[in-house]
Amino acid sequence: MKQTLGNLERQLFAYAQMRGLRTLRTGDLTTALGISRKQESKLFTRLSTARMIAQARRGLYLIPQRLPLGGSWAPSEILALNTLIGDRKGRYQICGPNAFNRYGYDEQVPNRIYVYNNRLHGERKVGPVQLTLIKVADRRLGSTEETATADGERGLYSSRARTLLDAVYDWSRFGSLPRAYEWIRADLKKQRVTARDLVQVTLRYGDVGTIRRMGYCLEQEGVEASLLQRLERALKPTRSCIPCVPSRAKRGTINRRWGVVDNAGT
């Protein structure tokens, strides 16, 4: 950790704070501070290594609103995410394990943030914030809830209904089946989510396999016939069957209506 600031470091923070800047880019300081590109690069490297600023990507740095006194600074997860996706003029929503924890489905706090977005894919790091970016089509983004952080940033999480849908849809990525069926049953029973909401998000964001599994699950919970028929109309007749829990052996009772093998207990 860098304990004292040199003249250039002090000038950088003074420049950013005077203008209310949260980010600086390569080239911003050459004119403002009268330094060369090489000096600027070394300055950014020194401060990011000392954890006094955070690199969002090559050439883009996050700057704290207040100078960290005697210690390192780290951006919030939402600030890191807003900066990274905002830089690409993209859209996003926090999903998967982070949403499972947010809504109380899983007590485990993820050590990284999982994000559906329409710009970037892969693992990224902004300061200490670790991100798993999952690129999806624009049509698969939506059904969100806004959250605010202490530093004034606003982020988007998948809604409760969307989170349950994604636990079925993206089961292989999140390892969420068969637990998702229990989450759905519990939320319906406690009226935290409605069957209508689940049907709507399933039809909008799900695929054929998800519609079949969700239809079967909702039928088991005694959901009204008109809602089940909405799901059924989205399916084409088929003789093939899929397992209720894809990671288990395909053995169990066959439900012909949905083409699902109930292997949840096998």
pTM to 2 decimals? 0.93
Phi and psi at residue 108, to the nearest 5°: -70, 130
Q: What is the pLDDT of residue 70?
A: 67
In angstroms, how far is CA 246 from the centroid of its own chain?
23
Burial of residue 196 (CB within 10 Å: 0-12, 13-18, 19+) is middle
pLDDT in tens, 107-135: 999 999 999 999 999 999 999 999 999 99
Cα angle 164, 170, 175; round to 5: 90
Residue 1 banded pLDDT, cuts 50, 70, 90 = very low
Output the CA–CA distances (angstroms, integers) from residue 159 to 133, 195, 221, 263, in the order listed.
18, 14, 21, 28
Distance (Å, whole) CA 168 – CA 155? 24
Please identify which residue in the block is written with the tokens 């982070």: 98
pLDDT in tens, 220-251: 999 999 999 999 999 998 889 999 999 999 99
pLDDT in tens, 189-211: 999 999 999 999 999 999 999 99
Residue 3 banded pLDDT, cuts 50, 70, 90 = low
Region 56-63: mean pLDDT is 97
Q: Which residues of 202-230 are buried (b: 16+ CB within 10 A; e: fewer)?
A: bbebbeebbbbbbbbbbbeeebeeebbeb
Q: What is the pLDDT of residue 229?
A: 98
